[in-house]
Amino acid sequence: MRHRKDGRQFGRNTSHRRAMFRNMAANLVTHERIVTTAAKAKELRRVTEKLITKAKRLGPVAYTPQADLSDADKAKRLHVHRLLASYLPRWGVTKDGTKQDLIEKVMLDLAKRYDGRQGGYTRIIKLGPRRGDGADMSVIELLADAETEAARKPEKESATNAAPAPAEEEVAEEEAAEEEAAEEVTDEKSTDAEAKAEAADDEDDEEKADE
Amino acid sequence: MAVPKRRKSSSKRDMRRSQHDKIKAKQYISCSNCGEVALPHRACAACGWYKDRVVVAGTDATLSQ
């Protein structure tokens, strides 16, 4: 019986599973947002949030520059650095190809970002069944910023994420308007293109006539 | 090992199957963004929206609208 045996096994032995979640946690920290199966996302949430909590327990020590730390604080920080490094790979490569120090990212960026937040640093949104095996897929992402969490939008709108919720409705309406406009534009373009083609033909004819 | 003494009639068999073996129709909702039929508690497969605010994955689907 598996009564009270917590966690999922994913048909892997311990080292295989650990390796998988190390890689997935590294990818989540690097890219902030990854797509995986719903079950793996739920398990990854535990893994990743524990790592962030480790850094957060240091308080400001995690993200204060080394020069400003006392020797005791430096030692504490080094200890947590090693704890994180015992799980996370040191380096991640972002989409634009730049190398990123994941341990430092957790300590400098994430620990600061989630300061004052009592856990729940990730969000999971289900996407529905995957074609092929029907596995329930989902997106898992690190919350963008504690204050602007409600205003979080995908990459293209992230510039406006300082705007509070009411402004977003306007954005949505604008988008809808733009979409309609875009459709009209495409219609016009097609007619324009035809007109241009005719014009070009006419010009050709004229040039030939000149010759 | 204990075995059935009598063959169950097709009626009895089907009555059994009509209860807990039946297939339930899936629940659907209409997407709050595009009105398309979507699964509850999941991002809309057509436009990628969830809960009126987040666009999830399928961004090309959003652009093609």
* Domain containing residue A44: CATH number: 3.90.1030.10
- Give yes or no: residues A95 and A197 share one domain: no
Q: Given an 8 Å threshold on Cβ–Cβ distance, is A152 in contact with B42?
A: no
- Give yes or no: residues A132 and A178 share one domain: no
Cα dist from A138 to A70, A126, A173, A190, whole Å: 43, 4, 27, 39
- Give yes or no: residues A52 and A133 share one domain: yes
Nearest-by-CA chain B residue for A183: B65
> Using H for helix, E for strand and C for coil, what is the string for chain A?
CCCCCCCCCCCCCHHHHHHHHHHHHHHHHHHCEEEEEHHHHHHHHHHHHHHHHHHHCCHHHHCCCHHHCCHHHHHHHHHHHHHHHCCCCCEEECCCCCEEEHHHHHHHHHHHHCCCCCCCCEEEEEEEECCCCCCEEEEEEECCCCCCHHHCCCHHHHHHCCCCHHHHHHHHHHHHHHHHHHHHHHHHHHHHHHHHHHHHHHHHHHHHHHC
What ipTM describes this predicted complex? 0.71
pLDDT of residue A108: 93
Q: What are phi and psi of A163, to 5 degrees?
A: -70, 135
What sign does the dihedral A165-A169-A175-A179 (CA atoms) show?
Answer: positive
- Give yes or no: residues A104 and A200 share one domain: no
Residue B45 touches partner A, C-beta closer than 8 Å: yes
Band (pLDDT 50/70/90 cuts) for residue B53 is low
- Give yes or no: residues A176 and A102 share one domain: no
- Across the interface, which of A139, A153, A168 has its CB nearest the CB of B57? A139
* Contact between residue A114 and residue A56 where contact means Cβ atoms under 8 Å apart: yes
- Give yes or no: residues A95 and A21 share one domain: yes
Residue A18 domain boundaries: 14-144
Whether A7 is in a domain gets the answer no
Whether A178 is in a domain gets the answer yes
pLDDT of residue B32: 85
**Interface residue of B54, B59, B60, B63 to substitute, partner A, most A CBs within 10 Å:** B54
* Distance of alpha carbon A139 from alpha carbon A117, whole angstroms: 21
- Give yes or no: residues A123 and A209 share one domain: no
Tell me the mean pLDDT per 10 residues along chain A, length 211: 93 96 96 94 96 94 91 94 95 93 94 90 92 94 69 43 42 48 47 49 50 40
- Give yes or no: residues A127 and A200 share one domain: no
CA-based nearest residue to A84, from A58, A111, A64, A103: A103
- Give yes or no: residues A30 and A111 share one domain: yes
Q: Given an 8 Å threshold on Cβ–Cβ distance, is A126 in contact with B41?
A: yes
- Across the interface, which of A127, A154, A179 has its CB nearest the CB of B59? A154
Whether A152 is in a domain gets the answer no
**Which tokens hold the place of A90?**
């040191």
Q: What are phi and psi of A185, to 5 degrees?
A: -60, -45
Which of chain B's residues have a Cβ under 8 Å away from the Cβ of A153? 53-55
Band (pLDDT 50/70/90 cuts) for residue B55 is low
**Tokens 């400098």 belong to residue:** A108
Domain boundary, last residue among A111, A144, A177: A144
Nearest-by-CA chain A residue for B41: A126
Whether the predicted pLDDT of B14 surpasses 90: yes
CA-based nearest residue to A61, from A83, A51, A76, A81: A76
Please tell me the pTM assigned to this model: 0.69
- Give yes or no: residues A129 and A197 share one domain: no
pLDDT of residue B17: 93
Structural domain count of chain A: 2
* Distance of alpha carbon A183 from alpha carbon A178, whole angstroms: 9
